[in-house]
Amino acid sequence: MQRISVIGSSGSGKTTFARDLAHLLDLPRLELDSVMHQPGWTPKPDHEFQAEVGDFVAGDGWVVDGNYTSHGVARIVWPRADTIVWLDPSRAVVMRRVVWRTLRRVATREELWNGNREPWTNLYSRDPYKNIIVWAWTRFEHVRQKYEGMLSDGSWDHLDVVRLCTAREARAFLGRVPAG
């Protein structure tokens, strides 16, 4: 396990899990949100995004944290990966995490990526592209069905796919990882 893609819905715990996994394996980590969300929440153009991700996964060992399948990332990351870790907790767990994380970030004015912060006004928006809570709620089942389909179609049978549905399973998995 040297080239790992960590996937899952918003609020599934990808970033924390990927950070811990990369630390245990002594591997570099790329958080896809940090590449996509440029200053002012401007999305990086797909060709630049794909090029930066491609450069990163050209290395011998890494952990990539995030999805962005609609931006062509799976076509770049998964052929180079040896392992996919799919964090797939229940919708209730995801929503609890997303609500708490979002409120904390808004209240503390935590910088996320490239100077971006979650504004209070996003909390009142029903637009899932502005409000991560609405995004997580409305996209949860879509993300689950998308990954079930992608990972069962036979295209990725060469990968070790690990689906973790609880925090206990995730901790146990990390506890079995040999230090790098």
Domain extent listing, the chain: 3-175
Burial class of residue 40 in the structure, from the number of CB atoms within 10 Å of its CB (0-12 exposed, 13-18 middle, 19+ buried): exposed
Q: What does the pLDDT look like over 124-138, one tens digit per residue? A: 889 888 888 999 999
* pLDDT at 180 (0 to 100): 65
Residue ranges in the chain modelled with pLDDT below 70: 180
DSSP for 51-98, please give it. HHHHHHHTSSSEEEE---GGGTHHHHHTTT-SEEEEE---HHHHHHHH
Query: For the domain 3-175, what is the CATH code?
Result: 3.40.50.300
* Calpha distance 43→2 (Å, rounded): 29
- This prediction has a pTM of 0.93
* pLDDT at 179 (0 to 100): 74
Q: What does the pLDDT look like over 70-99, one tens digit per residue? A: 888 999 999 999 999 999 999 999 999 999
* pLDDT at 139 (0 to 100): 92
* pLDDT at 124 (0 to 100): 87
Burial 100-121 (b: 16+ CB within 10 A, else e): ebbeeebeeeeeeebebebeee
Place of tokens 């949100």: 33
* pLDDT at 154 (0 to 100): 87
